[in-house]
Amino acid sequence: YQNFQKIILDELDKNQIDYEVNGTLEGKVSHHVLNLWLKGVGTYSALTNLDLSGYAVSGGSACTAGSLTPSHVLQAMYGEDSPRIEESIRISFGRFNTEEEIQEFAADLVKMCKRLAK
């Protein structure tokens, strides 16, 4: 899954998308999840656009899946007033995902960010 994370991050970097990883990718972390702050792209807009493109991503933690409530994890990490709270998505990878699917997702994520970023 680390390779999946790298594919997405490399594509964002290559296209100069303004983002930051929420949390860390170092050490003992779950590499099947990538949480990104997409600067200037509202969480709800990102979720809607990605859903319309056929992707299921989340704006919160796994325990609040299906809810539009801001991530309590991000609030605890960065504070309730952080722009990360309203501009982050959580991407989860499954064991049946392929590298080609992740490359396609990364390209669509870039297109969406370019279209929606304030």
- The whole-angstrom separation of Cα 102 and Cα 21 is 17
Q: Of 26, 98, 92, 29, nearest to 65 (Cα)?
A: 92
52: CATH: 3.90.1150.10
**Tokens linked to 111:** 């297109």
Whether residue 90 has pLDDT greater than 90? yes
Containing 34, the helix (H) or strand (E) segment is strand 33-38
Per residue in 1-27, pLDDT (tens digit) is 779 999 999 999 999 999 999 988 887
Q: What is the domain extent for residue 96?
A: 2-116
Q: What is the mean pLDDT of residues 97-106?
A: 97
Whether residue 29 has pLDDT greater than 80? no
Q: What is the pLDDT of residue 53?
A: 95
- Concerning whether 63 is annotated as a catalytic residue, the answer is yes
Longest CA–CA span in the chain (Å) reads: 37
Beta bridge partners of 30: none
Per residue in 31-73, pLDDT (tens digit) is 899 999 999 999 999 999 999 999 999 986 554 555 556 677 7
Contacts of 66 (CB under 8 A, 6+ apart): none
36 by DSSP, 3-state: which? strand
Domain count for the chain, please give it: 1
Catalytic residue among 52, 54, 63, 76: 63
Q: What is the DSSP letter of 60?
A: S
**Residue with token string 């779950």:** 30
Q: How many CB atoms lie within 10 A of CB 93?
A: 20
